[in-house]
Amino acid sequence: MQESGYFDKYSPISGVWDEMYGADANVRDHYRKVIEYISGESADDLNKKEELAKRLFMSQGITFTVYNSGEGIEKIFPFDIIPRIITADEWTFVERGIKQRLTALNLFLKDVYHNQFIIKDGIVPIDIIYSCPHFLREMYQLQVPYDIYVHISGIDIIRDYDGTFYVLEDNLRTPSGVSYMLENREITKRLFPDLLPQCGVRSVTEYPTILYKNLLALSPRQIPNPTIVLLSPGIYNSAYFEHTTLARLMGVELVEGRDLVVNNHKVFMKTTTGLQQVDVIYRRVDDEYLDPLVFNPSSMLGVAGIMGAYRKGNVAIVNAIGTGVADDKAVYVYVPDMIRYYLNEEPILKNVPTHQLGNADERAHVFENINKMVIKKTNGSGGYGMLMGHAASEQEIEEYKIEVMKDPRNFIGQPTISLSSAPCYMQGELQPRRIDLRPYALYGPDGIEIVPGGLTRVALKEGSLVVNSSQGGGSKDTWVLA
């Protein structure tokens, strides 16, 4: 094989698993075709591709708006043109792991909202559950269709220095980013003509079809054309583009809270011809804002009375309300035990070792080794409010400790995992950057289906370990090989 200049100049980070660069200092087999392809392109050609990608994102309005001093600025979610590639074997493993984990988490939700066997049997301590703000009394003893709570999940997966897969967090509420999985693939088709079929990359286009099929199956009314809607907080939400994309791809109505009313425990939407009953709601509004009568009374995004309609079984809501108790980071610690308890199986995907700061001994251990630790809020997300011990100053650490001591239950500590790296195209050359992986799993009456692919997020800043878009992260197209 003709080695490319791009590959020769590539220097992987030592002590980090690189997706492309093998132990024998050669290109791993599954990256070979892509490297060959880009070797034939000059830096100019690749720069042009990068430009084209930016232009496509901008003109299609695949942007999010950052509001700064009253003025909206359109930004694109940075996109790296070099795909992240996953082999068939790796995928099979990850897929099995996610299915197992999701099955257990879903059983756990059914259990905590009904008989609570797992608490009575002493597997999960009761105070962890009852102190979780996302554990909702309103869901107690409520029967949900097919006993499915988590219809859509985006479990974050990372790889340590030896390539072992770990679950970093379970996103079981309203995970976002799936539109980027779909759009990144569309853009890659334009950037690298013919390359996808040559490499045998599996398609991701089934996602909206499967989701629609699952939503359809949930309709409480047995009628030929039930009304399915996607409930969005509106155009100012940073994921609004995703909401419109999904609504368009599934051919369902995109609604906002103000489009819906509840009458006699049924949900209706306001149309030009009067009220029309709604059967299934795929909501992208958090639990807290869903019903001002039951949750946050100042919410303008929700629908008054919707919880009553849900409890009556007159409308299906996806994901179910109250799933946040299962992706709380303090509960995360117990997921391997849940898998053993409910399924009598050993967990396929490992948890990152996690210390609860609510426990005095563990807290002391974390504080002693704080330079090797990451501390996170148990119900935080988006990379906000976390402390990276190896990068923080003395003062930041002291301030953070004070914050932790106010309510230790709300914090966990994890050893810094060194995240695998993948090649990114940066100013004319390939450079390693840290990545993670979020596959999207759809749980319907027919079981769990995962489209082969997902969102690969990448920390574009050199040396950074944080992939969140709010912290300078970007994304890559994710290829699963057949």
Partner 1 sequence: MLSRVAASFYWLSRYIERSDGMLRMLKINYASSQDTIQEFTWAPVIRIFAGSGDEETERLENDSRAVLKHMVTGKENPNSIINIITLSRENARGVQEHIPKDLWQCLNEYYHTVKDPKIEKSLQREDPIGVLDVLIKQVMLYYGTAEITMERGEGRSFMNIGKYLERAIQSVDILDIKFGSVSDNPDLLTDTSYWKHLLQSIGGYELYLKTYREGFEAGNILEQVVLNNDFPRSVIYSVNNIQRYFDRLKNNSNMDDFRELSFQIGRLQSKIKYSSVKSIEQDGLHQYLTQIRKDLYGIGNALNEHYFANS
CA–CA dist 214, 445 (Å, integer): 7
For partner 1, which residue of 109, 228, 247, 441 counts as binding (CB under 8 A)? 247
- Asked if 242 is part of the footprint of partner 1 (rule: CB under 8 A), the reply reads no
HEC sequence for the chain: CCCCHHHHCCCCCCCCCECCECCCCCECHHHHHHHHHHHCCCHHHHHHHHHHHHHHHHHCCCEEEEEECCEEEEEECCEEEEEEEECHHHHHHHHHHHHHHHHHHHHHHHHHCCCCHHHHCCCCCHHHHHCCCCCCHHHCCCCCHHHCCCCEEECEEEECCCCCEEEEECCCCCCCCHHHHHHHHHHHHHHCCCHHHHHCECCCCCHHHHHHHHHHHCCCCCCCCCCEEEECCCCCCCCHHHHHHHHHHHCCEEECHHHEEEECCEEEEEECCEEEECCEEEECCCHHHHCCCCCCCCCCCCCCCHHHHHHHCCCEEECCCCHHHCCCHHHHCCHHHHHHHHHCCCCCCEECCCEECCCHHHHHHHHHCHHHEEEEECCCCCCCCCEECCCCCHHHHHHHHHHHHHCHHHEEEEECCCCCEEEEEECCEEEEEEECEECEEEEECCEEEECCCCEEEEECCCCCCCCCHHHCEEEEEEEEEC
Residue of the chain from 50, 206, 253, 337 that contacts partner 1 (CB under 8 A): 253
Q: Select 267 or 481, whichever has its Cβ closest to partner 1.
A: 267
The closest alpha carbon to 315, from 364, 280, 357, belongs to 280
Q: Which of the ranges 54-62, 322-330, 368-376, 461-469 carries the binding residues for partner 1, by CB under 8 A?
A: 54-62
CB of 60 or CB of 471, closer to partner 1: 60
Per-residue x/- marks for partner 1, 65-104, CB under 8 A? ------xx-x------------------------------
Q: Does 225 bind partner 1 (CB under 8 A)?
A: no
* Residue in 12, 125, 145, 234 binding partner 1, rule: CB under 8 A: 234
Which of 1, 43, 58, 364 contacts partner 1 by CB under 8 A? Answer: 58
274 forms part of the interface with partner 1 (CB under 8 A): yes
The residue from 9, 258, 372, 390 that contacts partner 1 (CB under 8 A) is 258
- Closer residue to partner 1 in complex, CB, 275/388: 275
Does residue 61 bind partner 1 (CB under 8 A)? yes
CB of 77 to partner 1, least distance (A): 16
Considering only 263, 264, 271, 470, the residue that binds partner 1 (CB under 8 A) is 271
Q: Specify whether the CB–CB gap between 242 and 252 falls below 8 A.
A: no
Residue placing its CB nearer to partner 1 in the complex, 18 or 279: 279
- Least distance to partner 1 from the beta carbon of 452, Å? 26
d(CA 162, CA 372): 18
**Shortest CB 272 distance to partner 1, Å:** 5
Rule CB under 8 A: is residue 138 a binding residue for partner 1? no
The nearer residue to partner 1, 96 or 248, going by C-beta atoms, is 248
Contacting residue, 68, 272, 395, 427, with partner 1 by CB under 8 A? 272
Asked if 254 interacts with partner 1 (CB under 8 A), we say: yes
Q: How far is the CB of 413 from partner 1 (least distance, A)?
A: 42
In the complex with partner 1, the residue whose CB is nearer, 70 or 197, is 70
Residue 240 in the binding site for partner 1 (CB under 8 A): yes
Nearer to partner 1, 2 or 272 (CB): 272
Between residues 156 and 256, which has the closer beta carbon with respect to partner 1? 256
CB nearer to partner 1: pick between 260 and 316 = 260
The reply on whether position 348 binds partner 1 by CB under 8 A is no
Nearer to partner 1 by Cβ, of 103 and 232: the residue is 232
Binding site for partner 1 (CB under 8 A): 58-61, 71-72, 74, 234-235, 240, 244, 247-248, 253-256, 258-259, 269-274
